[in-house]
Structure 1
Amino acid sequence: MPFLNRYCLLFFLTNLLFPMLLVAQEDVKLQGVVFDFASNQTIPGANVYWESDPNNGVSTDLDGFFEIPVIALPSKLIISFVGFEQVQRMVQEKDIAKQIRVFLRVEETDLQEVTVSSTRPDENVKSLDLGKSVVPIETIKNIPALFGEVDLLRSLQLLPGVQTAGEGTTGLFVRGGSADQNLLQIDGAPVYNPSHFFGFFSVFNPDALSGVDFYKGNIPANYGGRISSLIDISLKEGNYDKLHGEGGIGTISSRLTVDGPLFSENSSFVVSARRTYADVFLRLSSDPNINSNDLYFYDLSGKTTFKLGNKDKLSLSSYYGSDFLGLSGQFGFGWSNWVSSGTWNRNISDKAFFDLNAYHSRYNYKVGFDDPENGFEWGNTIGETGIKSEWTNLLSDKTILKWGSMLQFYHFASIDLDPSPNSAIQPIATNPRNGMQFNPFVTVNQELTRKLSVEAGLRWSLYQQHGLGVDYSYENGTPDPNNEIIDSVAFNRFERIKAYQGLEPRLALRYLIRDDLSIKVAANRGFQYLQVASNSSAGLPIDRWILAGTYIPPIRGDQFSVGIFKNLNDNAWEVSLEGYYKDMKNVIDLRQGATVLFTDNVETEILVGDGYAYGVEFLVKKNIGKTSGWLSYAYSRTWRRIEGISFDNWYNPRFDRPHDLNLVLNHQFNKRWSANLTFVYTTGQAVTFPAGSYVVDSQRLPLFTGERNADRFPDYHRMDASVTWKNADQGKKWRGSWNFSIYNLYGRKNPFSYQFGEIFNENINFSPAPNDPITSRRPGTVMTYLFTFLPSLTYNFNF
């Protein structure tokens, strides 16, 4: 295992030698943490300074922690944050020996929504972020939802540059990339299938989350692995002082989250659970064909946090989610995610920080059919384990240096189909696929002048596919269904099969034209060493993940973007215009009629080619006041050209939707009543319709020309609305609210699928039988839609 030892050596050298460059200064400092009095959550970005020296203050970090050099004591300390009342605290000599705790109360301003955020009000103008969105959890909870089930991924679909596969799906297609080109991670651990109910809901319970950072443009060098976007999700920490809880009872599911101190004021926990009860309603039916079925999903997540002194914090988190569909005790289909991670944060000094994250992610599915003649069990498991270290050094007020490395192990288990005893089905077995990836990175954020700032980063990705596994050789050296296998080589555990490597430069510039107007440009290169081979763009639980290997090289993605950002009316309004161009090499697609689920020679069903995408995105957003929300519009196109598909010409993937318009409005009538409205309009997805039909053995079959996705569904549009009524707050510990929402307010029948066949007797549901005369017969098209006018009611509470 020489390459394994080499990668591990590189990882430890990166993390043991680089820290020697840090020099910690042990000046006398006052330490403390700033909290929101109402929620007991820490407040990042709060201002802390001495009354006698207001020009040399500090800001709290993401955990609400601060360190400030001590001056002559006693002296008055000032703590402030936008939307909160200022606190003045007299500090004595005795306070230096302990960590002080400061609680801020929300200012009593009528009808002004206050959101605690780690960003400044003008962050969108003055930061180097391009194509990044920070989505507050409260905003997500206010958006009208399908079945009243608040959904993170469905909320992200309302942002410019984000497309969806269609009605009732949570899959994201970001700036011309496919769904597998998005990295979704919880506390640093990736999630391979982020959906419940075949894509109708995502696996993320908003009550358990503290924040969501969504990158679709300038992805920093300390992140990698996907070429389109990063959705970085953090589970919230528990309350350190008292027990707190929140939850809801909805149309199809209920949820509960409880958090509080664990052993002392230096440790906390949070536990969250959610479950549907569709199976309970099925049991109430008197029809045995219905009450014998199962249909449910559930989530469980937890996080414990320990403050190990004034400088160290350890967090352990885990998420488990499961789905199951069972029909009459004969057919069963289930899948699950189990994600665990541990994070150690250390404040070496007020200018040096260290973060270490280790994780394991596992996704599996299983399909079973209980039948004496054709019974079987089919399953698969996907696993990833990794460790990441990151050092941050504030070299000066204008220079931030980050470096570190990441080591990942992939294990895609064999896909096996095991027949039941006496079953006529033949067993099928494939070989596992394994890989390893090592990524050192460095990035510098430098303010060159007051107007010009730059962020330059470099990531080096080294990847190897290794055993256990089998590699095949084909006739003419090309994997093709028509070419015979002429040889195969079996590789032992960790024995090298194929290696790739590449440099991933990242560069971003921001020029501040005025304090409220800036222009930004960015260029990113990334490599992706795993893809999904699927016949469906919507994403299915049984999708086949493919590691880069001998015949399938990694994707290389280059994105160039530029944007203009403007704030109005003292940062109450944000306006932005962004444009991008993305070039992609080695994207994959399936041959016509390909089957990839059970073959051990999946490379024979896959074709490799190139792609590109471009677009313009406009966003206007109102942040404060009685009415808030945003309006976005994006024009975008994405193309692929792969030899062997669509006559070797450029074609659109299904998620190419040129026009995309989104409107999100929230209006606060008073402290108890609020209303929300969303409107969505997009071009119909690209599809392949038959050009005609032909008859074989009295069966009419559709005729396709070979040109891929040259047709389109009708344009998609929908309006959702909701009203929330909060119980009067009379100082009680229990607070509740009712939310009534309507999905698809005006009942638009958006197509989900089309079926081409024959219609008998002008009845699309007519099925010919020996005793039923057929009076008419013609070719026809049947459209299926999922939802029209769909109301729901949810009761939310917290205590």
Structure 2
Amino acid sequence: MKYPFSALLAAFIFLFSFESIQAQNQSQLQGIVLDRENSLPLPGASVFWENDISSGVVSGLDGTFSISLQELPAVLKVSFVGYETSTREITEKDLGKQIRFFLSPEELSLEEVLIQELRPDENLRSLETGKNRVPIQTIKNIPALFGEVDLFRSLQLLPGVQTAGEGTTGLFVRGGSADQNLVQIDGAPVYNPSHFFGFFSVFNPDALSEVEMYKGNMPASFGGRLSSLIDVSLREGNNSKIHGEGGIGTISSRLTLDGPLFSENSTFVISGRRTYADVFLGLSSDEDIRNNKLNFHDLSGKAVFRVGDRDRISVSSYQGRDFLGLDDQFGLGWSNWVSSAQWSRNINAQAFFDLEAYHSRYYYSLEFEDPENGFDWGSRLSQSGLKGTWSQIRDEVQTYWGFHSQFYHFAPIDLIPVPGASFDGISTNPKNGLLNNIFAGASVELNSKLSLEGGLRWGFYNQLGSGVEYVYDGGIPGPDVEVLDSVRYDRLENIQFYQGLEPRVAFRYLINDQFSIKAAYNRNFQYVQIASNSSAGLPIDRWILADKYVSPIRSDQVSLGFFKNFQENKWELSIEGYYKTLDGIIDLRNGAQVLFTDNVETEILSGEGWSYGTEFLLRKNTGKTTGWLAYTWSRAWRKIEGISQGQAYNPRFDRPHDVTLVLNHEFSPKWSAGVTFVYTTGQAVTFPIGTYESDNQQLPLFSPFRNEDRFPDYHRMDASITWKNDNKGKKWRGSWNFSIYNLYGRKNPFAYEFREIYNDDIAFNPGDGDPITSSRQGIIMTYLFTFLPSITYNFQF
């Protein structure tokens, strides 16, 4: 069975029938709690009947609630800290629709109101392991490189998350490579979530409402990647007035506007960001520098429409582009364009339906102007998807089920030489894939101490035409293996089929009100991955789909965690351990070249991998001083025949020890400060073990064993101070942020170069004609930043 469409159709008929049955349930009253000034939802509001306070409920993250009906008419009350209580008489005419409660802020409230989306002990009571929520305000308070607040750099400060090196935003989660992270905006995947070769991520914090990161117990409704899910949501606008915020920084500026669109039932948000590094280049007196180009930009938008009391439709889009040009001789550019649409329907007080459609496109190109060796090279890949999810909440049981279909299209890679070039052009064949998934899951609270969660995801993958598959002598591809034949497939013709079951299970046992134990098991399959020589990730890395010679990767992960809160949930302590295995993991042969070949399978070897570790996190959530201390001990291993003589080796991102400290302190309503400290073991690398002579040149000699050496340990401290002006009665509110990256000027190595050094001067160029008095092999270390101050002005109106 290659296409389970009949099973899917039968399931959908059943589900829609079930939906109709559930719609008849009118035993619940449903509503939503909103802020009267900006129409934003108020999570955690108390909703109760006046004559029966014990029957109260709390509004969810989106402000919605459902409460059991009383004998009508009856009076319903809604209260929230810092807001006036709303009282309303409910009658029969209010049934079958969503009741809206608009709460007004208390005018006499003198202290700032802190809105928490989750209950203080949620970390103890939830079933989630290996999951982190990072508030947007926390991200904005962390000292930043060039003053540019960055989501990914904030995630790197969490336990179990590591980076490739200085200045990069690539994430390596629990021993997985960067391409094993599913990064999505409003449900749509982003293939390259970075700017400036990884120095910044594509996310403008002003445009975001929520960020969730799963690195352990991933719900069955998500899949396709092995290591983590980074779920980013664009924020919604308010429906009362135009509001704006932005900032002017050292390297870029940004602006976000939101407000009502057509009526109070529709809102919009539009956000933009652009660097002006190229503006400063144009002011240089050096013509070679003045003609260079270096910039990136982001543009995102979201519109939300409330249709009646039950339906909500949202449309969002993101577009970003980078370009680097050197004196009209060299050009490198890449861009993302992501769009999605979502329809949410409240079937009744207990049943919900969500439908998502998205399209994500990633394009990158390389240009080189030279009469003999010039060329244009470009590649384009895209993913389109449709996902439907039904969910139901009844008493202590929550269930969900649905489908997720994804179509991948990797366009041909074209290398077009300039007229008169000394080499021929190259064109690869396209790759297409169709992945259909069905999933279901449930969580149940068996008693006050024990909760269970289970889920199952079943994926059916087909590599489709049009395309070409090569036939190799002996059936195994290799750089020296002869190609015997090629088989061409027509459009949408099946080439290769894979399928896999992905079970997920978790439990939580609450020992007491301040201590719980959690455990989880997850299996995931990944059908798309990167073949790259770089651990940091480059914009021109080669993405490949599962096919006849490259099978999907499978991972199995078990995790166990202990969670303890102190001093009425002011402090959180967690210790989590994990063990993960990888089957079918790929790596490149020594000296592999993957960018310009149509036979990429000849440059790849596959095998197994495993990783394990322990993560420690101590967090303080409330008070004048907040922040966390994290420590991770972890190891990552690969074992692939043909690499390192078949022995186990560490990938470059294996870093056994990782320590991060994040502190924020509020001195007064106007002044606050932040400090971060990072320490990690140096990344694994392969250094030369000697030299040999070839064509009168001394060349480095490398060991056959991979990554046996390491860079020096990495450490750095950053600091920032923020000053806010007096906001009372002012429409324009501003603040200044002064930050220092690498406070004590540590010269952390970015790269090492092994080459000939003349006259004991690393800057000496023998081509200049000056006499050479000495020559020796040497090692030259490159570092990027030492003491780096920056200033940013942020504003709201």
TM-score range, shorter chain: over 0.9
Q: Which whole-Å deviations, capped at 9, do the CAs of 1:105-132 have from their partners, x for residues lacking one?
A: 3898888772431x21111000000000
Match of 1:528 in 2: 526
Q: Distance in 2 between matches of 1:421 and 1:481?
A: 30
Q: Deviations over 1:76-99 (max 9, x none)?
A: 433234x53461424365994884
Match of 1:52 in 2: 51
CA distance in 2, matches of 1:113, 1:616: 36
Which one of the candidate residues 543, 555, 558 is aligned to 1:557? Answer: 555
AA aligned to 2:293 is: D
SS in structure 2 of the partner of residue 497 of structure 1? strand
TM-score (norm 1): 0.96
- Please state if 1:386 is matched with 2:381: no
Match of 1:718 in 2: 716
**What does 1:124-135 correspond to in 2, within 5 Å?**
124-135=123-134
Q: Deviations over 1:413-460 (max 9, x none)?
A: 111101222333310010011101011001010111211110011110
Deviation of 1:244 (Å): 0.9
Asked if structure 2 preserves the Cα contact closer than 8 Å seen for 1:43 and 1:116, the reply is no
Deviation at 1:699, TM superposition (A): 1.1
In structure 1, the residue corresponding to 2:538 is in which secondary structure?
coil
Change (3 A) 1:107 1:156: farther
1:530-545 to 2 correspondences below 5 Å: 530-545=528-543
Provide the residue aligned with 2:748 in structure 1.
750
Alpha-carbon spacing, 1:16–1:672, altered in 2? closer, same or farther (3 Å): farther
Residue equivalent to 2:299: 300
Is residue 2:318 matched to residue 1:289? no
Aligned CA distance change for structure 1 residues 108 and 448 (closer, same or farther; 3 Å): farther
Cα distance in 2 for residues equivalent to 1:199 and 1:13:
46
Distance 1:614 1:113, change over 3 A: farther
Tell me the equivalent position of 1:650.
Answer: 648
Paired residue for 2:12?
Answer: 15
* Residue 41 (structure 1) aligns with: 40
Q: Does 1:321 align with 2:320?
A: yes
Report the AA paired with residue 139 of structure 1: T
The answer on whether the counterparts of 1:337 and 1:364 sit within 8 Å (CA) in structure 2 is: yes
1:47 Cα offset (Å): 2.1
Deviations 1:620-646 (A, max 9, x none): 000000000000001000000000001
CA–CA distance in 2 between the matches of 1:91 and 1:788?
64
Match of 1:349, SS state, is coil
Trace 1:381-530 onto structure 2 (pairs within 5 A): 381-394=380-393, 396-530=394-528
Q: Contact 2:158–2:630 at 8 Å: present in 1 too? A: yes
1:242, 1:98 → 2: CA distance? 24
Which residue is 1:576 aligned to? Answer: 574
> Secondary structure of 2:767's partner?
coil
How far 1:8 moved relative to its partner? 5.2
Q: Deviations over 1:468-525 (max 9, x none)?
A: 1111111111101111001110011111111111111100010010011100010011
Letter of the 1:162 partner, please give it: V
Q: Which amino acid aligns with 2:782?
A: T
Amino acid at match of 2:382: G
Deviation at 1:684, TM superposition (A): 0.2
Letter in 2 for 1:101: F
- Answer yes or no: is the 8 Å Cα contact 1:376–1:425 preserved in 2: no
2:600 aligned residue? 602
Q: 1:335 to 1:281 in 2, by over 3 A?
A: same
Distance 1:453 1:313, change over 3 A: same
In the other structure, the counterpart of 1:227 is 226
Distance 2:718 2:365 in 1: 35
Q: Aligned-pair distance for 1:169?
A: 0.6
Counterpart of 2:778? 780
- Structure 2: distance between partners of 1:541 and 1:794: 28
2-structure distance, mates of 1:113, 1:567: 23
| TM-fit CA distance, 1:312 | 0.4
**Contact 1:375-1:425 at 8 Å conserved across structures:** no
Query: Structure 2: which amino acid aligns with 1:19?
Result: F
What is the TM-score with the length of structure 2 in the denominator? 0.97
Q: Write the letter of the residue equivalent to 1:114.
A: L
SS of corresponding position for 1:20: helix
Task: Give the AA of the match of 1:674.
Answer: S
Name the structure 1 match of 2:151: 152
Q: What percent identity do the matched residue pairs reach?
A: 62
For residues 170-215 of structure 1, what are the alpha-carbon distances to aligned partners after superposition, in whole Å with 9 as ceiling and x for unaligned?
Answer: 0000000000110000111000000000100000111111101100
1:659 maps to which residue? Answer: 657
Pair 74,476 (structure 1): closer, same or farther in 2 beyond 3 Å: closer
Cross-structure match for 1:116: 116
- Contact persistence 1:167–1:786 (CA under 8 A): yes
| Aligned residue in 1 for 2:100 | 100
Query: Aligned letter for 1:100?
Result: R
Pair 535,107 (structure 1): closer, same or farther in 2 beyond 3 Å:
farther
Q: Return closer, same or farther for 1:652/1:113 CA change in 2, 3 Å cut-off.
A: farther
Per the TM alignment, residue 34 of structure 1 is displaced from its structure 2 partner at its CA by 2.0
The answer on whether the counterparts of 1:111 and 1:625 sit within 8 Å (CA) in structure 2 is no
CA distance in structure 2 between the aligned counterparts of 1:173 and 1:111, rounded to whole angstroms: 41
Task: Mark the runs of 5 or more structure 1 residues left unpaired by the alignment.
Answer: none
CA distance change for structure 1 residues 414 and 106 in 2, over 3 Å: closer, same or farther?
A: farther
Instruction: Please list the CA deviations of residues 301-342 of structure 1 after superposition, one character each: whole Å capped at 9, or x if unmatched.
Output: 001110010000000000000001111123211100000000
Pair 617,460 (structure 1): closer, same or farther in 2 beyond 3 Å = same
Question: Contact (CA 8 Å) 1:216, 1:229: kept in 2 or not?
Answer: yes
AA of the residue aligned to 2:114: V
Preserved contact between residue 282 and residue 294 of structure 1 (Cα < 8 Å) = yes
Is the 8 Å Cα contact of residues 694 and 701 (structure 1) preserved in structure 2? yes
Contact 2:32 2:98 in 1 (8 A): no
- Match of residue 728 from structure 2: 730
For residues 2-401 of structure 1, the aligned pairs below 5 Å read 6=3, 10-22=7-19, 23-25=22-24, 27=26, 32-36=31-35, 40-69=39-68, 71=70, 76-81=75-80, 83-85=81-83, 87-91=85-89, 96=94, 99-103=99-103, 105=105, 114-117=114-117, 119-394=118-393, 396-401=394-399
**Partner of 2:403: helix, strand, or coil?**
strand
**Relative to structure 1, is the Cα distance of residues 459 and 517 closer, same or farther in structure 2, using a 3 angstrom cutoff?**
same
Partner SS state of residue 556, structure 2: strand
Which stretch has the larger CA shift, 525-534 or 6-15? 6-15
Amino acid across the alignment from 2:105: R
**Residue deviations 1:679-737 (CA, integer Å, cap 9, x gap):** 00000000000001122232111010111000000000000000000011121111110
- 1:763-785: CA deviation from partner (whole Å, max 9, x where unpaired): 11111136311112111100000
From the superposition, tell whether residues 90 and 111 of structure 1 become closer, same or farther in structure 2 (CA, over 3 Å).
closer
**In structure 2, C-alpha distance between the alignment counterparts of 1:40 and 1:309, rounded to whole Å:** 16
1-side partners of 2:303 and 2:764: how far apart? 58
Q: Letter of the aligned partner of 1:700 in structure 2? A: Q
Question: C-alpha distance in 2, partners of 1:68/1:113?
Answer: 26
CA distance, structure 1, for counterparts of residue 616 and residue 681 of structure 2: 17
CA contact 2:377–2:413 (8 Å) conserved in 1: yes
Aligned length: 793
- Distance across 1 between alignment mates of 2:204 and 2:768: 52
CA distance in 1, matches of 2:332, 2:208: 29
CA distances 1:245-277 after superposition (whole Å, capped 9, x unpaired): 111000010001101110111001100000000
Shift of 1:72: 5.6
Q: Distance in 2 between matches of 1:591 and 1:736?
A: 54
What is the CA distance between 1:62 and its match in structure 2?
A: 3.1
SS in 1 for 2:785: coil
Aligned residue identity for 1:661: V
Task: Identify unmatched segments of 5+ residues in structure 2.
Answer: none
